[in-house]
Structure 1
Amino acid sequence: MATVRLAPVLRASAGGAKQVSAQGDNLAEILSDLYEQFPALKEQIQPEQELSRFINVYVNDQDVRYLQGLETAVGQNDTVILLPAMAGGR
């Protein structure tokens, strides 16, 4: 199973967990398993078919937007990081 690390703002939707495990061969399958475990996460991460533009998703520290997006391969020992985009400044 892959490890999915959740940013603090997402943890309430996952029972307060900092990280959880999910199964799948690619990011789409990992997220589908994650949504089955924690349905409230879907609206924050993937309200439509594509990932929300307000969340950054990394597989082993690589941004999936520069890989294969939802089709990015995920191995059993890989780490997926879900990190909401931050905005601000002057």
Structure 2
Amino acid sequence: MAKVRIPTILRSFTRNQDQVTAGGATVGEVLRELERLCPGIGPRLLDDKGAVRRYVNVFLNDEDIRFLQELDTPVKESDRVTLIPAMAGG
């Protein structure tokens, strides 16, 4: 199972845990499993069509999934998925 790093702003969905273990063969499956484990977090990450919201960055280990195979990127049990919400302001 992959370890998913949860940003502070989303920890209310994870009982304040900064990391959750979720299974899946791809990043998309891991994120769907995360929604099953932590109800309500899914809509914050994925839009109505199932794509990653544009203001959320998802990394597999240290690689942005946008430069890999996006949600179809394969995940190994030893992998780390990091969720980073985009920041705005000046």
Place the TM-score, normalised by the shorter chain, in its bin.
over 0.9
**Aligned alpha-carbon RMSD (Å):** 0.8
Question: Offset at 1:88?
Answer: 1.3
Letter in 1 for 2:13: S
Question: Offset at 1:47?
Answer: 2.8
Question: Offset at 1:39?
Answer: 1.6
Structure 1: gaps of 5 or more residues: none
- Alignment correspondent of 2:75: 74
Letter in 2 for 1:60: N
- Alignment correspondent of 1:86: 87
Identity %: 39
- How many residues end up aligned between the 2 structures? 89
User: TM-score of the superposition, structure 2-length normalised?
Assistant: 0.95
Q: Distance in 2 between matches of 1:3 and 1:12?
A: 18
Q: Write out the 4+ residue segments of structure 1 that deviate beyond 3 Å after TM superposition.
A: none
